[in-house]
Amino acid sequence: MIFKKFDFTRDHDRCIRFLTECYRENGNITCWLPQRFDDFFFRIGSMERHKQSVDLIFVCEEKDQIVGLILPDDNAMNSCIKKGHEHIFPEMVAFAERNLAPLLKTDENGAGDFFVVSHDSLTYQADFLQKRGYTKQVAQDYDNVFHPLTQQYQLEFPKGFRLSYG
């Protein structure tokens, strides 16, 4: 497998196609939506604290085909892996640990945390990360915290329509 630094002209459209194909295969369990990639690249990446993250996107290729993406976000690595290529995950993590070091926020002693974002259903990733010394983080941000509704909303829909996912 070859790791290449993301180049917009060469890779953007290829990455969008790759993410679209991954989504069709797995329903977004193991990858970003193509829209999330563009949002990260164009909107989030324009914010000062994220500019360096965009500069450290890596494309993983086998035989000139994208089989994985390393998508950094602050001091975290997100990965997207083509179905059937799960075996590349350990190599991707090792590569990210070496090459995403500029993103680490360190304390006065030089210690810092490196996060790998994974989905609970990807047990092969959890097993590998645990063997490598990673520990599962307790939810600490708004993406992972449940806030129950305190007000009951009544929505009226035209006949034959209903809310299936809120």
Tokens in use for 12?
Answer: 């953007």
pLDDT in tens, 136-164: 876 554 444 444 555 555 678 888 887 66
Alpha helices in the chain (DSSP H): 8-26, 34-38, 51-54, 89-99, 123-131
Percentage, residues of the chain above pLDDT 90: 33
Note the pTM of the prediction, 2 decimals: 0.76
Kindly list the distances between the CA atom of residue 101 and the CA atoms of 29, 81, 84, in Å, as whole numbers in the listed order: 27, 21, 28
Question: Are 91 and 125 a contacting pair, CB within 8 Å?
Answer: no
First to last CA, the chain: 41
Among 61-65, 68-72, 109-113, the range scoring the smallest mean pLDDT is: 109-113
- Computed over its alpha carbons, how large is the radius of gyration of the chain? 18
Tokens in use for 158?
Answer: 């035209």
Task: Give the residue-averaged pLDDT of 36-46.
Answer: 77
C-alpha to C-alpha distance for 5 and 136, rounded to whole angstroms: 28
Question: 165 pLDDT exceeds 80?
Answer: no
